[in-house]
């Protein structure tokens, strides 16, 4: 099982069906993702966008045959979790794609990594070139949007835009909790303890490195899918007078675009991230008991810059940090407010965490 993937789950969908000005419904769906995740305040996230036409063009220029489109896409789509060398090995040795074509494909598939500055401005230009849509994706937060040429999923049914949202820099214990299906009757991994976490298969696994947990929302354009089901449900009728068969209805394609949110995954992230406030309270309690005056941020997703500015404004000389890296290293970061320099300290947080 992929970490964070449930065997059973609920999702919340939003679909737009019908013919409208090109790309406007697609842009609205991206806007909905941004608005929902922003309101939920689940932390830093990214909305990755690609287009089937771009994938087809990429593959054609690389010399990959049409018959290999789907199998190559399934490998390219793994680049968010695997290195290019691993994907290359799969393409050449398992899927028998010519090596020269794979090398050419690398220039496109790794475009984002080679040019990390290619984000929202290029994406907006791309959208405008394809669809002549003006504006900034209906007010979507620009820094949240990125063009990702390796996003290549759902191509059995997606005919145009493809997009997904991922939560970034999630602590490893939280990823493990998601892989267990936290809150679904099993063990809920503590996102603030780096101990061994039971696997779903009864084994044991050390917490992995931090990173994205996979998509919390995804969607795209599927202009042929509804028509395919309508066509499958059509039946022939026989005219008794001339015994000729006539179709009850014509083949009709209904353009559609959608976005879907993973409810359990979102709830799990929100619940486990809320533990951060509790751990800050524990640390403050520990310091208070030692006669040290202190206070803590009440926000589940506290922002370092906002907090350090608060310290400066209120003449608080020392700031303690409980962030992602501190979670992994089992320590507390300490900084001087005046110069924002780190004070070297090996203060073990397990002293107060276990108290």
Give SS3 for 6: coil
Strand pairing category for 204-205 and 318-321: unpaired
**Which residues does 95 contact at the CB level (< 8 Å), separation at least 6?**
68, 71, 72, 75
How far apart are alpha carbons 171 and 49 in whole angstroms? 24
15 is in an annotated binding site: yes
How far apart are alpha carbons 109 and 76 in whole angstroms? 7
11 is in an annotated binding site: yes
128 is in an annotated binding site: no
How far apart are alpha carbons 198 and 186 in whole angstroms? 10
How far apart are alpha carbons 55 and 76 in whole angstroms? 10
Strand pairing category for 45-51 and 145-147: parallel
How far apart are alpha carbons 71 and 39 in whole angstroms? 37
Q: Where are the alpha helices (DSSP H) in the chain?
A: 24-40, 52-62, 69-76, 84-89, 99-109, 111-114, 120-131, 172-180, 225-233, 263-273, 275-289, 304-313, 324-329, 350-353
157 is in an annotated binding site: yes
129 is in an annotated binding site: no
How far apart are alpha carbons 251 and 98 in whole angstroms? 38
Numbered residues of the known binding site: 11, 15, 153, 157-158
Numbered residues of the known binding site for L-histidine: 11, 15, 153, 157-158
């Amino acid at each position: 099982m992929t970490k964070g993937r449930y065997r059973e789950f609920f999702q919340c969908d939003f679909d737009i069906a019908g013919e409208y000005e090109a790309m406007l419904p697609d842009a609205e769906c991206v806007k909905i993702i941004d608005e929902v995740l922003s309101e939920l305040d689940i932390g830093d996230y990214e909305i990755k966008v690609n287009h089937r036409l771009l994938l087809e063009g990429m593959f054609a220029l690389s010399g990959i045959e049409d018959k290999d489109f789907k199998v190559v896409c399934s490998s390219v789509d793994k680049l968010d979790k695997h290195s290019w060398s691993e994907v290359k090995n799969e393409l050449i040795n398992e899927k028998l794609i010519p090596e020269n074509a794979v090398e050419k494909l690398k220039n496109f598939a790794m475009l984002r990594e080679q040019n990390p500055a290619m984000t929202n401005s290029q994406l907006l230009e791309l959208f405008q070139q394809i669809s002549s849509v003006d504006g900034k994706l209906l007010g979507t937060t620009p820094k949240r949007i990125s063009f990702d040429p390796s996003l290549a999923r759902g191509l059995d049914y997606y005919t145009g835009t493809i997009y997904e949202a991922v939560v970034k820099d999630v602590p490893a214990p939280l990823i493990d909790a998601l892989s267990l299906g936290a809150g679904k009757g099993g063990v809920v991994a503590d996102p603030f303890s780096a101990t061994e976490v039971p696997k779903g298969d009864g084994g044991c696994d050390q917490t992995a490195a931090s990173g994205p947990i996979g998509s919390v929302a995804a969607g795209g354009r599927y202009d042929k899918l509804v028509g395919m089901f309508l066509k499958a449900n059509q039946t022939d009728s026989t005219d008794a007078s001339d015994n000729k068969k006539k179709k009850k209805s014509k083949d009709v394609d209904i353009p559609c675009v959608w976005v879907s949110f993973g409810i359990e995954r979102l709830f799990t992230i929100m619940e486990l991230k809320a533990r951060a406030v509790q751990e800050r309270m524990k640390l403050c309690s520990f310091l208070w008991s030692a006669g040290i005056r202190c206070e803590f941020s009440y926000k589940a997703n506290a922002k370092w810059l906002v907090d350090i500015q608060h310290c400066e404004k209120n003449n608080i000389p020392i700031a303690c940090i409980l962030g992602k890296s501190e979670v992994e290293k089992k320590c507390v970061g300490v900084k001087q407010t005046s110069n924002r320099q780190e004070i070297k300290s090996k203060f073990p947080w397990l002293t107060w965490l276990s108290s």
